[in-house]
A = this chain, B = another copy of it.
Amino acid sequence: MTPPKRYSRQREKILEAVRTATVHPTAEMVYETVREEIPNLSLGTVYRNLNLLTEEGKISEVVLEDNIKRYDGNTDDHYHCICESCGRIFDVSLDAEPLVNELAEQIRDFTIDSHKIEFYGHCENCSE
């Protein structure tokens, strides 16, 4: 079903770029970063690998209202805080299980597999 996979330097560097990024990068940002090491890298390859890595669960997508996909190399359970001023996305680890379960009990006619929580507001830099 799923095609076998081979090593590729491009894929390795793309994964590394997402994992080590200090922000949640877009495909374009990953492209620019990896291109410093692999100058003839193509954007198509970046997209192909980001999708592949997402399917494999090695990274995940974050979609905000601007319709641009951003990628997250943090595979631990966590939530996001989105600053409405600078647009940056911050990871937060919260033990939300018990609270979410409590909410889930109120939901009928739907089987919940997973959930997502996003907080919108302002980061420290943009507050004040």
Chain A interface residue count, CB cutoff 8 Å, equals: 37
Name A's B-contacting residues (CB within 8 A).
61, 63-65, 67, 69, 81, 83-84, 90, 92, 94, 96, 99-100, 102-104, 106-107, 109-124, 127
Residues in B with CB closer than 8 Å to A83 are 110
Of B84, B94, B117, the contact of A113 (CB 8 Å cutoff): B84
Q: Could you tell me the distance in whole angstroms from the C-beta of A94 to the nearest C-beta in chain B?
A: 5
Using A63-B67, A65-B61, A65-B63 as known contacts, say yes or no to A114 and B103 having CB atoms under 8 A apart: no
Residues in B with CB closer than 8 Å to A104 are 119
Given A110-B122, A116-B120, 19 new contacts (CB under 8 A)? A61-B65, A63-B64, A63-B65, A67-B69, A83-B110, A92-B107, A92-B110, A94-B107, A99-B99, A103-B117, A109-B123, A111-B122, A112-B120, A112-B121, A114-B119, A114-B121, A115-B117, A116-B116, A117-B117
